[in-house]
């Protein structure tokens, strides 16, 4: 399901909120700068995975 922005997503999708809260601080900060573009759990995961690629 798509939401108007990330705040609406996190408010309505507990799984997405838990995922977001488990991310490293720097990843959450980067995602917040693009919160208007994060409107689904899939887009949140995709963006987080792109930011953390190479962290292993």
Domain that holds residue 24: 6-52
In this structure, is residue 1 part of a structural domain?
no
Contact between residue 48 and residue 22 where contact means Cβ atoms under 8 Å apart: no
Contact between residue 44 and residue 9 where contact means Cβ atoms under 8 Å apart: yes
> Quick one: CA dihedral 11, 45, 43, 34, positive or negative?
positive
In this structure, is residue 32 part of a structural domain?
yes
What is the predicted pLDDT for the residue at 55? 63
Q: Cβ of 45: how many Cβ atoms within 10 Å?
A: 14
What is the predicted pLDDT for the residue at 29? 96
- Looking at the structure of the chain, the number of domains it has is 1
In this structure, is residue 31 part of a structural domain?
yes
In this structure, is residue 48 part of a structural domain?
yes
Contact between residue 10 and residue 31 where contact means Cβ atoms under 8 Å apart: no
Q: What is the pTM of this model?
A: 0.88
Give per-residue pLDDT as tens, 3-37: 999 999 999 999 999 999 999 999 999 999 999 89
Give per-residue pLDDT as tens, 33-52: 999 899 999 999 999 999 98
């Amino acid at each position: 399901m798509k939401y108007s922005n990330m705040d609406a997503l996190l408010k309505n999708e507990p799984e997405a909120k838990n995922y977001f809260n488990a991310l490293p601080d720097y990843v959450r900060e980067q995602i917040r700068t693009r919160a208007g573009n994060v409107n689904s759990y899939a887009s949140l995961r995709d963006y987080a995975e792109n930011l953390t690629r190479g962290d292993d």
